Amino acid sequence: FCLQTMLAARCPTDELSLTNCAVVNDKDFQNGQHVIVKTSPTHKFVFTVKSHNTVLSGNIAFSLPQRKWVGLSIGQEVEVTPYDFDKARQCIGTMTIEIDFLQKKSVDSNPYDTDRMAAEFIQQFNCQAFSTGQQVGHTMGRGAVCVFGDEQVGSKGIELGLAIANSQVIFEKAESSSLALIGKSKTKQGRQSIINPDWNFEKMGIGGLDREFSDIFRRAFASRVFPVELVEQMGECGGHTTQKNNPEGCGETPGTMTVCGPSPAWRLFVFRQLGANSGLHIIIFDEIDAICKQRGTMQGSTGVHDTVVNQLLSKIDGVEQLNNILVIGMTNRPDLIDEALLRPGRLEVKMEIGLPDENGRVQILNIHTARMREHKLLGDDVDVRELAVETKNFSGAELEGLVRAAQSTAMNRHIKAATKVEVDMERAEKLQVMRGDFLNSLENDIKPAFGINQEDYDSYIMNGIIVWGDPVTRALDDGELLVQQTKNSDRTPLVSVLLEGPPNSGKTALAAKIAEKSGFPFIKICSPDKMIGFSETAKCQAIKKIFDDAYKSQLSCVVVDDIERLLDYVPIGPRFSNLVLQALLVLLKKASPHGRKLLIIGTSSRKDVLQEMEMMDVFSTNIHIPNITTGEQLIEALELLSRFDDRERSRISQHVKGKAVWIGIKKLMMIIEMSLQVRANPVCVVMCFSLSHFLSLSLILFLSSAIAVVEP
């Protein structure tokens, strides 16, 4: 026992203040020793001391936060006694630290990584004494912060403890602090649940919609019922995010970046007064076509748009030319922008932001999965290169959406969204986004805008392709040759083919099958059934948009189905839309942009009409799709359809073998289904016999199947 009466002094340097030790002369106490400081009969505090030769013997120096915590004044007498920790009982297990900036001028909006801060804290304060409520000053990375309200929360809830290498440090920000914390080493933030725990669908009178509600929760609310910390580690699934990338090669440090919406803000150009030696200033006009339309094109306007364009032109040109301002305009309608704005010296550099290629998709996916990979939330079976191959024609936003959808799918495995919303938190701690989550999202959730609409193909090839003879085989083979020509030939980036033949011969199904087998990343069907009620102008715009979208992909296929219907052709008159005709004539012959290849497949049942309209010449070649013309072909079709047994096929064969027939495959399939209904309802046969004097090949097939049912 060695009691000393000492005088409280001011810490000699800021560096020593941040050690959070009481500073003494080495003649009084040894460096790293622990002492009890008694400021009154009832107030005792434990400090770790650091020796320094600038402190006079008999003095003990404290930092300002320490003096505030203890309630000391300079020159006050205190009793100092050595203190030894019981390391078996007084080592800190977990320390919770409430933090804020020491000075308001040090406020920083950037987030602080609590994991890194915890490691730095333990490294600097290893083997130091800490007490509940103690105030500590410490520099955390970018600036000084005041650490206060320390609590040692060990297994026994000790009030005084020794920080060791194994101590866990948890940070929480002060109640009114603007400090942003990220990482695992922070307190779990309380949040108000968006879902009433007692709420369920049944009380609202809603039932039978479990699947629909499950999808809603998976896509919209899954991340809201998980802990904030886990959502942050996922990186992106909490909501919509915007990412801004500074352009490379624009200067060491951009001085200012300002993003403007459609409303012009000419005051931004005051950056000119800073001079050519100032930092780079970037002004971005989003949707610039909204304020810079072609002058004189706004009918009935007061000329406001023209004035806006004139002002922007004068601001860009200016009196003095400076090189410290970069103006960027963004639009998806460059055709609407006034040409004067695009001349050299103004917005002279035109850059098309196309769809990312495979390597680009790998980079984008790596960016959006980086946080998951860092926190080991990405499954080992996830291959980003594989996902890049499977996401042809995905835009960056769609790839980001794919990652969010996969995260939601993974979360949904731990959410039961039936009558109540429940989360298995024990399993959720081991949550990982697996390969199956991405593949499920690819199949069900995220479809590229410039990709393939599988539903269209399912409707056009509902019953498959029936190869009833050589004409069908030749059509498919010729189509494959044209696909390979489009892929491999640089001399013919535009290839077009017309499939023509009688109605119900299966032209649309063959065109859809050729397109599907091509494997092109962009396939669209331009069909008149999607343009019912369109005016001529609207129909032209819809057709043009399909071709414009096709030009954005490196390999594209456009199926122009039922051309005479697109033209609104009727034989009375005859009448047709000349506006649509001229649009098709231009688009079918228009060369693809450099590096883009396009296959066009047209279908028509009126070759004679297209010849009169001079449309046949715009196609590279044409393929005739005939009807079934022989009994042998009919029997082959029946065998492939497998809708009859051997006895029924034998009876039908007796009627049609060696005979000339004329029936389309679609018509044949319809008659077969009718005959099967007769098989199921034999009473219908009586009506069929009453029509025997109108017997044709179609009814022969119909009756042959029906008679086979009623015979003993």
Residues with active-site annotation: 507-508, 561-562, 589, 666
d(CA 186, CA 201): 36
Residues in the chain: 712
How many other C-beta atoms lie within 10 A of the C-beta of residue 179?
A: 18
Q: How far is CA 34 from the centre of its chain?
A: 56
> Which candidate, 405, 391, 390, 402, places its Cα nearest to that of 355?
391
337 DSSP assignment: B
Cβ within 8 Å of residue 236, ≥6 positions away: 368, 371, 400, 403, 404, 407
Residue for token pair 């009409």? 609
Segment (H or E) for 365: helix 358-374
Of 490, 524, 523, the closest CA to residue 596 belongs to: 490
Helix (H) or strand (E) holding 539: helix 536-550
Cα dist from 62 to 57, 67, 76, whole Å: 14, 6, 12
C-alpha span between 612 and 329 (Å, rounded)? 46
- Which residues, at least 6 apart from 353, have a Cβ–Cβ distance to it below 8 Å? none
Only one residue has tokens 């010849």, namely 611
Angle at 667 between CA 665 and CA 673, to 5 degrees: 105
Is the distance from CB of 87 to CB of 170 less than 8 angstroms?
Answer: no
The one-letter code for the residue type at 503 is: P
For 214-226, letters b (16+ CB in 10 Å) and e give ebebbbebbbbbb
The C-alpha angle 437, 440, 444, rounded to 5 degrees, equals 140
- Regarding beta strands 280-286 and 254-260, do their DSSP bridges make them parallel or antiparallel, or are they unpaired? parallel
Question: Which has the closest alpha carbon to 294: 304, 305, 285, 283?
Answer: 305
What would the two tokens of residue 405 be? 């959808």
The answer to whether 53 touches 26, Cβ cutoff 8 Å, is yes
Distance CA 111, CA 180 (A): 5
Listed in order, strand segments (DSSP E) in 20-67 are 22-24, 34-40, 43-51, 59-62
The amino acid that residue 629 corresponds to is T
**DSSP three-state, residue 408:** helix
The overall longest dimension of the chain from CA atoms, in Å, is: 130
List residues bridging with 522 in a β-sheet: 556
* AA letter at 237: C
Q: Which residues make Cβ contacts (< 8 Å) with residue 253, sequence separation at least 6? A: 279, 280
Residue pair 131/83 in contact (Cβ under 8 Å)? The answer is no
Helix (H) or strand (E) holding 556: strand 555-560
203 phi/psi in degrees, rounded to 5: -65, -25
The residue whose two tokens read 């909006």 is 109
- The secondary structure of 170-213 as a DSSP string is EEEE-TT----EESSSBPPPP---SS-TT--TGGGT--S-HHHH
Cβ–Cβ under 8 Å, residues 603 and 511: yes
Among candidates 113, 105, 114, 140, which has minimal Cα distance to 18? 140
